[in-house]
């Protein structure tokens, strides 16, 4: 069923394209009712409009808080055109139809983003706009609701062909409810943050589609990438792709894992990630030096991986990166000559992150389960001073061992459980990830090592349930271990460490990563 609108109500915060759209409506002799700044812009553009106050018979009042909340507006939108009782009421009260509503909402999100005070933020909570949107969307059988300026051409094209189609009006109504839902969820999130409510009674998670994906984790799975509003932290959502083919679902997941690891370091650092686990991580005086150390850990697994760095990529590093097949390189920035080298490789994706040294957003980690979601704090725990942790063994770590243990513990947080990591003070040597038993992770990490483990440090993301992993480490020459502690067999584990002359540090904090 086509509907040719005869009267439209236009009230928009984002005015891009609105003058051209209004002119398109006028080609079809549509009467335009408008409000505030929109009315002023249209009138100044030579478009004949009716001010909302003239239409309702009431002026805009209370500093603009009340202008469209009126029966003439909502009656005009909501009446069912083929309902005799509705039409009798319309005639009795002198109401007229409004067949199109063009509304987008006060810039609440932008107001929060610029750091406005609470009073200004509250004044940018739209009331009349969502009410009109919901009314028009509900009555989509007869009314066309437009909340996205990108739909202007679509609507005008259909009007040129006799009127908007029912299927289109249903689709626009769907978009309208999504629009108000996201808007309200951003407002709710603002109040939750202001009041320190971490886990509210009800939650809606706002996000906007950034791009469709070719597929998900596997080709038979459909996928799309959504980004959250008000992101203030360097992220895959805010990064800028400078080169290469479109990111895949798995690329984005791996970029997230890479970025979270390199954010941990203040020295020049390089992380090489494969399937969300680090196959090499190191720090150095330069990125080039750090990259050599990181690559040495597991050069086979690095093939087809993702490299993340926390400094600008220069020509020296770019030359080295170009010698191996990599899916993605992400960095705060790239020098011009580095880009020249890397852009010669057709398919490598280059992601510019901007400053990654800022604070972390106070957002929750979300995990999906069938029929629900799990929310938790992000694992942002850091050791303030490793020398102040519990040391249950007879031998204390040396200065060099403390440095290696600290590095190992940072990396352990970013390895899938069960996680075992062998390190020196500035690099990983072997990584064992995601095994069902901890001792198997210990053996795999040792088998990955390309250099002698003698004198290396070991990190375990959770406590040792048995002494077998300590015995395995001792056989490999490990001299210092860091783990949470807390097992009912801690005494057995400590005894094993003492027998082998291993220094052990208990953090009291676990880093499971499922």
Query: CA–CA separation, 446 vs 439, rounded Å?
Result: 11
**Which string of b and e fits 101-134 if b means at least 16 CB within 10 Å?**
bbbbbbebbebbeeeeeeeebeebbbebbbbbbb
- pTM of this prediction? 0.86
Q: Are strands 305-309 and 326-331 parallel, antiparallel or unpaired?
A: parallel
Residue with tokens 């039409």: 87
Task: Check residue 220 and give its pLDDT.
Answer: 95
User: Which candidate in 15, 26, 141, 275 is catalytic?
Assistant: 275
For CA atoms 388, 391, 396, 397, the dihedral sign is: negative
User: Which candidate in 28, 138, 141, 320 is catalytic?
Assistant: 138
Does the pLDDT value for residue 64 go beyond 70? no
| 52 in Cβ contact with 26 (< 8 Å) | no
The HSE-up count of residue 262 (CA atoms within 13 Å, CB side) is 36
- Tell me the percentage of the chain whose pLDDT exceeds 90: 74
* Crossing angle of helices 468-475 and 490-500, rounded to 10°: 20
Q: What is the DSSP letter of 394?
A: S
Per-residue model confidence as pLDDT tens digits over 271-324: 999 999 999 999 999 999 999 999 999 999 999 999 999 999 999 999 999 999
Query: CA–CA separation, 132 vs 147, rounded Å?
Result: 11
Helix or strand run (H / E) with residue 348: none
Q: What is the 3-state secondary structure (H, E, C) of 231-275?
A: CCCCCCCCCEEEECCCCCHHHHHHHHHHHHHHCCCCCCEEEEEEC
Task: Check residue 61 and give its pLDDT.
Answer: 63
Q: What is the length of the chain?
A: 514
Per-residue model confidence as pLDDT tens digits over 338-387: 999 999 998 899 999 999 887 777 788 899 888 999 989 888 999 999 99
The torsion angles phi and psi of 16, rounded to 5 degrees, stand at -65, 125
Domains and CATH numbers, the chain: 7-194 (3.40.50.1380), 236-352 (3.40.140.20), 386-506 (3.40.140.20)
| 46 in Cβ contact with 18 (< 8 Å) | no
Task: Check residue 58 and give its pLDDT.
Answer: 73
Helix or strand run (H / E) with residue 55: helix 52-56
**388 has catalytic annotation:** no
Across the range 108-129, mean pLDDT stands at 89
Non-local (6+) Cβ contacts of 225 within 8 A are 209, 210, 211, 212, 213, 247, 249, 252
Q: What is the DSSP letter of 361?
A: P
SS3 of 335, please?
Answer: coil
| 78 in Cβ contact with 139 (< 8 Å) | yes
**118 has catalytic annotation:** no
Across the range 435-443, mean pLDDT stands at 89
Task: Check residue 279 and give its pLDDT.
Answer: 94
* Strand ranges across the sheet with 269-274: 240-243, 349-352, 326-331, 305-309, 269-274, 277-283
Residue 12: name the closest of 139, 183, 159, 133 by CA.
133
Least reliable range by pLDDT among 70-74, 147-151, 180-184: 70-74
**What is the residue-averaged pLDDT of the chain?**
92
pLDDT band (50, 70, 90) for residue 232:
confident
Query: CA–CA separation, 348 vs 329, rounded Å?
Result: 8
Does the pLDDT value for residue 181 go beyond 90? yes
Task: Check residue 52 and give its pLDDT.
Answer: 87
Query: CA–CA separation, 394 vs 502, rounded Å?
Result: 9
């Amino acid at each position: 069923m086509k509907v040719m609108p005869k009267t439209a109500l236009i009230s928009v915060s984002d005015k891009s394209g609105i003058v051209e759209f209004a002119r398109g409506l006028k080609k079809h002799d549509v009467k335009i009712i408008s409000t505030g700044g929109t009315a002023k812009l249209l009138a100044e553009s030579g478009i004949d409009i009716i001010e909302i106050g003239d239409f309702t018979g009431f002026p805009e009042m209370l500093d603009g808080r009340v202008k469209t909340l009126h029966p003439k507006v909502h009656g005009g939108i909501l009446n069912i055109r083929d309902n005799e009782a509705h039409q009798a009421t319309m005639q009795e009260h002198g109401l007229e139809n409004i067949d199109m509503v063009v509304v987008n909402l006060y810039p609440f999100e932008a107001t929060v983003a610029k750091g406005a005070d609470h009073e200004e933020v509250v004044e940018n909570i739209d009331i009349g706009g969502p009410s009109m949107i919901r009314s028009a969307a509900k009555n989509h059988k007869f009314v066309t609701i437009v909340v996205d300026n990108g739909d202007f051409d679509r609507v005008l094209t259909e009007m040129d062909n006799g009127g908007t189609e029912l299927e289109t009006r249903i689709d626009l109504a769907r978009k309208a409810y999504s629009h108000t839902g996201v808007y309200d969820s951003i407002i709710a999130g603002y109040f939750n943050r202001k009041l320190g409510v971490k886990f509210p009674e009800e939650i809606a998670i706002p996000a906007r589609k950034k791009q469709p994906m070719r597929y998900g984790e596997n080709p038979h799975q459909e996928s799309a990438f959504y980004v959250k509003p008000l992101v203030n932290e360097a992220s895959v959502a805010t990064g800028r792709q400078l080169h290469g083919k479109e990111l895949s679902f798995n690329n984005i997941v791996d970029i997230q894992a890479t970025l979270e690891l390199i954010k941990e370091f203040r020295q020049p650092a390089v992380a090489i990630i494969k399937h969300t686990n680090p196959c090499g991580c190191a720090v150095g005086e330069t990125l080039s030096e750090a990259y050599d150390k990181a690559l040495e850990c597991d050069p086979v697994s690095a093939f087809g991986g993702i490299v993340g760095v926390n400094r600008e990529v220069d020509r020296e590093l770019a030359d080295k990166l170009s010698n191996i097949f990599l899916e993605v390189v992400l960095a705060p920035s790239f020098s011009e000559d580095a880009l020249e080298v890397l852009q010669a490789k057709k398919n490598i994706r280059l992601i510019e992150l901007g400053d990654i040294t800022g604070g972390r957003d106070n957002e929750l980690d979300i995990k999906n389960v069938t029929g629900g979601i799990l929310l938790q704090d992000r694992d942002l725990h850091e050791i303030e001073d490793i020398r102040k942790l519990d040391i249950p063994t007879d031998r204390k770590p040396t200065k060099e061992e403390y440095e290696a243990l600290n590095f190992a513990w940072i990396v352990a947080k970013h390895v899938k459980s069960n996680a075992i990591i062998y390190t020196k003070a500035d690099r990983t040597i072997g990584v064992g990830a995601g095994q069902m038993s901890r001792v198997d992770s210990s053996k795999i990490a040792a088998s990955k090592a390309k250099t002698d483990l003698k004198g290396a440090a070991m990190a375990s993301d959770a406590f040792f349930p048995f002494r077998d992993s300590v015995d395995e480490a001792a056989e490999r020459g490990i001299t210092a271990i860091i783990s949470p502690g807390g097992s009912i067999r801690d005494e057995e584990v400590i005894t094993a460490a003492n027998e082998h002359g291993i220094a052990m540090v208990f953090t009291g904090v676990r880093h499971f990563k499922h």
